[in-house]
Homo-oligomer: A and B are copies of this chain.
């Protein structure tokens, strides 16, 4: 079984460096704020929920040297700013940092640092409970023997717990049986090839790797039950920002009458955004496309457009699965009303 993608013990934050998978399962300690920011920027930790957890512990790492709560509060804004800037599309990052900021405001001497760590640990434990609940809801949308396509990586490596979209498929294999998962390689960073196939193999789920461009042909060949993707940010109407390539996959699914399911925790839902137009899209460096993993595939100096995410309009999404349930559009092909469904805290 894979090592935990993130652990925090004895005030030390240790991550599995996902950029070295599948060749090597290397754990590294993130000793200071700069290391945490670098790890998020360089995708050593990745996946929206895991980024949130990493950032929460990152606040602890950044402030653990402070001699007093007053000093911690003075240093907090810079630390929070640096962490927020590390991955501007990941709403879980903002959510987790907001919680840490609120916790910080309510701390008292003595024991302020243990309480701050407690808040980060609570975020981690809530993610675990969230994944488990999400997976139960998602299983209702699968059938025994389903052949499913997934994009990017949304398994345990992405959340630090059971996973979201891929977590549903892994659980479906165990509980329903007969599943076969097609994993998009997910250019430019190959999360599907590097991480998803590795997770599927580790969990014994039969699977096949395809180039992103082969997904539409696979659907046309027939027999695909559903498409499962995660989300980096979901607007109130259901528009979903996810790894680049998701939108084209959703368009192809729609053309073939195949349902496309988004599975993500409610922390990924940004109710402040009415629709996807307001989601900032991170554009990454040319080298990821032109010279992937250092291997030049285009002439030097070639201009590249390399958005990390695209926005899939709600109309293409058959259902959004969160830990709170299966959310459907108000009418088929219409917008979601996530403000109504998720606007209040549960229980």
In the complex, are the beta carbons of B214 and A299 less than 8 A apart? no
Q: Which of A194, A216, A220: most chain B Cβ within 10 A?
A: A216
Encoded as 1 (CB less than 8 Å from any B CB) or 0, chain A from 189 to 221 comes to 010011001100100000111111111111010
Residues of B within 8 A of A194 (CB): 297-298
Cα–Cα, bound, A183→B229 (Å): 26
Are B244 and A197 interface neighbours, CB within 8 A? Answer: no
The yes or no answer to A187 lying at the interface (CB within 8 A) is yes
What is the chain B residue whose CB lies nearest that of A303?
B208
Most-contacted residue by chain B among A184, A185, A249 (CB, 10 A):
A185
Q: Is the interface of A mostly helix, strand, loop or mixed?
A: mixed
Interface residues in A253-312 (C-beta closer than 8 Å to B):
255, 286, 289-290, 293, 295-299, 302-307, 310-311
How many copies altogether? 2
A182 interfacial by beta-carbon distance below 8 Å:
yes
Decide if B290 touches A193 in the complex (CB within 8 Å): yes
| In contact, A289 and B209 (Cβ under 8 angstroms) | yes
Interface size on A, as a range, is 35 or more
Decide if A41 is an interface residue (CB 8 Å cutoff): no
Asked if residues A304 and B208 are in contact (CB atoms below 8 Å), the reply is yes
Does A247 belong to the interface (CB within 8 Å)?
yes
Q: How far is the CA of A284 from the CA of B252 in the complex (A)?
A: 23
- Say yes or no: B245 contacts A305, CB within 8 Å: no
Cβ of A251 under 8 Å from chain B: yes
A299 & B198 in contact (Cβ 8 Å cutoff): yes
Q: A211-B187, A211-B245, A244-B213 are in contact. Are A218 and B295 (CB under 8 A)?
A: no
Mask for A163-192, Cβ within 8 A of B = 1, else 0?
000000000000000000010111110100
Q: Determine the distance from Cα of A193 to Cα of B292 in the docked complex, in whole angstroms.
A: 11
Q: Could you say which residues of chain B place their CB within 8 Å of the CB of A88? A: none
Neighbouring B residues of A210 by C-beta, 8 Å: 289, 304-306
CB A283 to nearest CB in B, in angstroms, measures 10
